[in-house]
Amino acid sequence: MHVPDGFINAPTSAVAGVVAAGAVAVSLRGARRELDERTAPLAGLVAAFIFAVQMLNFPVAAGTSGHLLGGALAAILVGPYTGALCISVVLLMQGVLFADGGLTALGVNITDMSVVGVGVAYVVFRGLVKLLPRTRRSLTSASFVAALVSVPAAALAFTAFYAIGGTTDVPIGKVATAMVGVHVLIGIGEAVITALTVGAVVAVRPDLVYDARDLRRPLKLRVGGEIVDAPAAEAPVPVHRTSHRTLLLSGLATSLVLAGVVSFYASASPDGLEKVAEDKGFAASAEEHHNADSPLADYGVRDVDNARVSGGLAGVIGVGVTVAAGSAIFWAVRWRRTDGTDVASPTSTSV
């Protein structure tokens, strides 16, 4: 759902840019409370993983594809403020290096995916978590629903922008119906990816997942030869089965494989927004990207003729740049001092 330049007029794009800048500023402040020395590198990895998975367009209908937006995944793993920063970093890297998403539309894209996508996902997730038993299965189910709802919510946010500042006169009701319809389908894919990823991380290191740090497993007792739950006692879930470093290296390796190898097999069909723009008659209003001559434009390396190698190298470079930029930002936020003191707990220790 990367909005190109030309879909939204300049005044509306400028207002969206102000909103996005304000949201990033608030997120930088809020992330100080979410990040510590263990989760700061995880946040950089989350940004890189989302970048990699966004390269994997999957078919959702005849002639239409979709890809992960990542708002729910980021918010659940590292917190809503840090999650919004993760998506913003990804969008910035994509727009500047890969000519994906317009530069004048960057505010629209950040508002759509970082503010609305992350915000809606987190509100839905927290609401469900309060209603459901505090178990791994409940967290996974809540992440599925939150991701599913967040995608059409972001689609509606784009529709609202288009209703206010669209550069082509098209029936907005038809745009809204088409956007929500196709993005509900995309949301199903988003929900599956999110639930599987959250479930996998919670299974090995729940202490690193923002919304699973207090997850507990009921204490088991043997009574009359049968294993039963202790009625009132709980024991912490073991948190050292997979080391911090192993988790980070595994996640980075997975991101590199997805972006460098698996992305070659992604669907070439237009994504949901592109398809709706074609069908409803406003695709022609898209302008050429300001960085169309970038050596990495369209996720390929200039002067590398082999499509598989070109795309793979671009993906690997993208993962590397995103994890480096994201980690630098999150470490800076983590160690930023307020009133001359470290914002983190002085007793916190590295794993």
Tens digits of per-residue pLDDT, 150-165?
999 999 999 999 999 9
The pair phi, psi for residue 146, each rounded to 5°, is -60, -45
- Is residue 132 situated within a structural domain? yes
Does residue 236 have a pLDDT over 50? no
- Is residue 73 situated within a structural domain? yes
What digits encode the pLDDT tens for the residues 24-37?
Answer: 999 999 999 999 88
- Is residue 71 situated within a structural domain? yes
Q: Supply the pLDDT for residue 89.
A: 98
- Is residue 5 situated within a structural domain? no
Does residue 219 have a pLDDT over 60? no
Does residue 341 have a pLDDT over 50? no
Helix axis angle, 307-335 relative to 80-97, nearest 10°? 140
The whole-angstrom separation of Cα 348 and Cα 278 is 53
The three-state DSSP-derived secondary structure of the chain is: CCCCCCCECHHHHHHHHHHHHHHHHHHHHHHHHHCCCCHHHHHHHHHHHHHHHHCCCEEEECCEEECCCCHHHHHHHHCHHHHHHHHHHHHHHHHHHCCCCCCCCHHHHHHHHHHHHHHHHHHHHHHHHHHCCCCHHHHHHHHHHHHHHHHHHHHHHHHHHHHHHECCCCCHHHHHHHHHHHHHHHHHHHHHHHHHHHHHHHHHCHHHCCCCCCCEEEEEEEECCEEEEEEEEEEECCCCCCCHHHHHHHHHHHHHHHHHCHHHHCCCCCEHHHHHHHHHCCHHHCCCCCCCCCCCHHHCCCCCCCHHHHHHHHHHHHHHHHHHHHHHHHHHHHHCEECCEECCCCCCCCC
Q: Supply the pLDDT for residue 69.
A: 97
- Is residue 202 situated within a structural domain? yes
Does residue 224 have a pLDDT over 80? no
Candidates 210, 202, 201; CA nearest to 330 is: 210
Does residue 223 have a pLDDT over 70? no
Q: Supply the pLDDT for residue 328.
A: 94
Map tokens 């729940």 to a residue.
206
What digits encode the pLDDT tens for the residues 96-106?
Answer: 999 999 999 99
- Is residue 351 situated within a structural domain? no
Beta-bridge mates of residue 229: 220
First to last CA, the chain: 37
Q: Supply the pLDDT for residue 134.
A: 83
Average model confidence (pLDDT) across the chain = 89
Contact (Cβ atoms closer than 8 angstroms) between residue 179 and residue 155: yes
Determine the length of the chain: 351
User: Taking the alpha carbons of 259, 260, 265, 268 in that order, is the dihedral positive or negative?
Assistant: positive
The CATH number assigned to the domain holding 260 equals 1.10.1760.20
Contact (Cβ atoms closer than 8 angstroms) between residue 107 and residue 21: yes
Contact (Cβ atoms closer than 8 angstroms) between residue 321 and residue 89: no
Lowest average pLDDT, out of 56-65, 186-195, 299-308, 341-350, goes to: 341-350
Q: Supply the pLDDT for residue 225.
A: 59
pLDDT tier, 335 (very low <50, low <70, confident <90, very high otherwise): confident
Does residue 337 have a pLDDT over 50? no
- Is residue 278 situated within a structural domain? yes
- Output the CA angle 72-29-43, nearest 5 degrees: 45
In the chain, the percentage of residues whose pLDDT exceeds 90 is 78
223 Cβ contact list (under 8 Å, min separation 6)? none
- Residue 57's CB: how many other CB atoms inside 10 A? 21
The domain tally of the chain equals 1
Q: Supply the pLDDT for residue 218.
A: 46
User: Which amino acid, residue 30?
Assistant: G
The whole-angstrom separation of Cα 268 and Cα 99 is 17
What range does the domain containing 83 cover?
10-216+239-342
- Is residue 126 situated within a structural domain? yes
- Give the predicted TM-score (pTM) of the model: 0.88
Mean pLDDT of 216-223: 50
pLDDT tier, 38 (very low <50, low <70, confident <90, very high otherwise): confident
311 Cβ contact list (under 8 Å, min separation 6)? 263, 264, 299, 300
Surface-to-core class of residue 331, CB atoms within 10 Å of its CB (0-12 exposed, 13-18 middle, 19+ buried)? middle
Beta-bridge mates of residue 311: none
